A and B are shown apart, each in its own frame.
Chain A
């Protein structure tokens, strides 16, 4: 009897295993080699991107439209959580796995360029009828005069503020068109701060991200994070002044949460929307993720937007920290031309639905601004303000948001590891910047040997 039961159990187990053990069945791998849209030939593109873009209903709808428009091109999306995206990308590309199109932010794509993973797009762009020097506005070649990135969008930074905090403190709202200087912002932040009540109110919110510390310096020296010979330039006086400004706001005026508390509390970037902060410098993602999502971020206060603060030397200028998300084609892609067709459709047809403004100049932008203004109308934000701040100002001055050239990941992580020592008083600003320079210069040196 036991033997029969054992046999039955084993049979059931085998059936369970064979029927359910997942593998993608019924889906052909890439069926042709070489880029071709010839009659009857179908190519399958493996598209590596982060989950937040590939897992959305909008992306699924886009894929349906794309495959209907290009019946000979199928897309096999590989969706990866952002935290592990680089690990997976590196393993897939280093192992020779066929990947036809990859997503990346500025740091990640330059890391891929430095690792020699990507192919230049200049020739294949001509085949796909794309003019890399004209179709994306003021977009320069990436390396050695060649384009490796197909730009999707660039961040548009601005000042978000909480009108209730301003009203409670009796402080007038920032001008909607003329930016404050950083010094003016520090003064306003101090006036807004009220640490006496049960709920502390800080005049300024910040994130533990590099640009919140060195971004003022980047505006001063036009994003010169590297010296002319490719070494680290973080010890330049402009960056030092930038870091000292933050120290003044945080530790002298007490108008921003001390960094130790910010880190210890694991303060999330979306915490700004709990209403206990007066101002924050943020990009369009604050509007995408929070300001327009009132069911997820319910609030009893109105938000306002104004241009990002600037150094006194740049008074009156509309400035922006530029960081470009892009698509790129790995060297082991089998179908570069079709990949670029997918990239072009992605920015033309999908990017707007993510709440971002594509850099591709052939996309009509009016609808984007209108939808955004409509979503923010309860905050008394106008279409004119939205157009001006969310990418519609042709005169905006863009400077690099962060270092992207030599050892960009090490640059950012080393900077953030060490900078808290300055703000907690353990080290001087000069000592910290020197340590960052030495460590990242070594990383750049190592990278150049590989």
Chain B
């Protein structure tokens, strides 16, 4: 290998390594902290793990002394229901705005888009009052309903359907399919890749939501993981070691989903990038 290529290869490897370190460091800190006692969390000099005194009690406390299983179930439930309905509605909305076109569709779509620019904090109080009025406060529906209609997701699906080959659907029409049937039988299967990407991104986004469950839920048995994470907090400060133990356990489902779908996720990102 020529000298110039060698140097380039080395520099590139070092840069990759450094970037990798930046991303992996918080994860390592989280694991390290989860195995420490509280007063060791910010010790100097930093010790990765005190091998002679690993504190497994943080994990046992999280698993047996908290409502972690309940929070986990609530998170999984809210995320799955929200993502499934979001994908369905986004596909329908995107198909309508991007493929079907109808009178005033562009105007309606831009009105939709405008909603993206309203800061969430502004809508929080009206949403709270509305949910109370219709009796959804302190139920998981208060989290699911705002999540299933997502303007950004509809926008992304619209972009996909804008470049969708019309011939395929027209062929379905000729064979006697109606609008809905041709959507289900022809358009939806071909939209699997963008829907998968959208599904994964939505999963991560909804899984991490903190403010909505905090405000809309009152009962502890309905809390999700992000709220549970904050329960290791006193008015004077946080109990980082236990919080990190819970965080380590809480990322397992997220990692599982990502690892299971990683290959298709990366492929879909690459293919959508090439289509650009």
Contacts and interface: CB of A to CB of B under 8 A. Distances in A.
A81 B230 CA distance: 6
A289 B235 CA distance: 12
Given A51-B230, A83-B230, A84-B230, A23 B139 contact: yes
Given A21-B139, A55-B220, A265-B44, A88 B236 contact: no
A269 interface: yes
Contacts of B149: none
- How many A residues touch the partner, as a band? 35 or more
A17 B81 contact: yes
A409 B272 CA distance: 48
SS class of chain B's interface: helix, strand, loop or mixed?
helix
A80 B138 CA distance: 13
Nearest to A273: B39
A24 B138 contact: yes
Interface string B219-239: 111100001001101111110
Given A81-B227, A81-B233, A88-B214, A296 B141 contact: no
A94 to B, nearest CB: 7
Contacts of B235: 50, 52, 82, 105
A410 to B, nearest CB: 18
Contacts of B42: 265-268, 271
Given A51-B233, A274-B40, A97 B74 contact: no
B128 A91 contact: yes
B77 interface: yes
Contact of A297 (B38, B84, B141, B215): B38
B140 A23 contact: yes
Contacts of A81: 214, 227, 230-231, 233
B43 interface: yes
A290 interface: yes
A84 B227 CA distance: 10
Nearest to B138: A24
B222 A268 contact: no
Contact of A298 (B37, B45, B132, B144): B37
A372 to B, nearest CB: 18
Given A88-B215, A95-B125, A268-B240, A83 B222 contact: no
A96 B84 CA distance: 34
B171 interface: no
B57 interface: yes
A312 interface: no
A246 to B, nearest CB: 20
With a 10 A CB-CB cut-off, give which of B53, B125, B215, B234 has the most chain A CB atoms. Answer: B234
With a 10 A CB-CB cut-off, give which of A96, A97, A268, A272 has the most chain B CB atoms. Answer: A268
A282 to B, nearest CB: 10
A122 B237 CA distance: 34
A78 interface: yes
A283 to B, nearest CB: 9
A20 B77 contact: yes
A87 interface: yes
Interface in A30-58: 46, 50-52, 54-55
B27 interface: no
B129 interface: yes
A270 interface: yes
20 contacts: A13-B81, A16-B81, A17-B81, A21-B77, A21-B139, A22-B221, A23-B222, A24-B219, A46-B218, A52-B235, A54-B220, A79-B220, A81-B227, A84-B211, A87-B214, A97-B132, A268-B240, A270-B237, A271-B43, A285-B234
Interface of A: 13, 16-17, 20-24, 46, 50-52, 54-55, 76-84, 87-88, 91-92, 94-97, 105, 198, 200, 265-274, 285, 289-290, 295-298
Given A16-B77, A21-B139, A21-B144, 20 more contacts: A13-B84, A16-B81, A17-B81, A22-B221, A23-B136, A52-B235, A55-B220, A77-B220, A79-B220, A81-B227, A81-B230, A96-B129, A200-B44, A268-B42, A268-B237, A268-B238, A271-B39, A296-B37, A297-B37, A298-B53
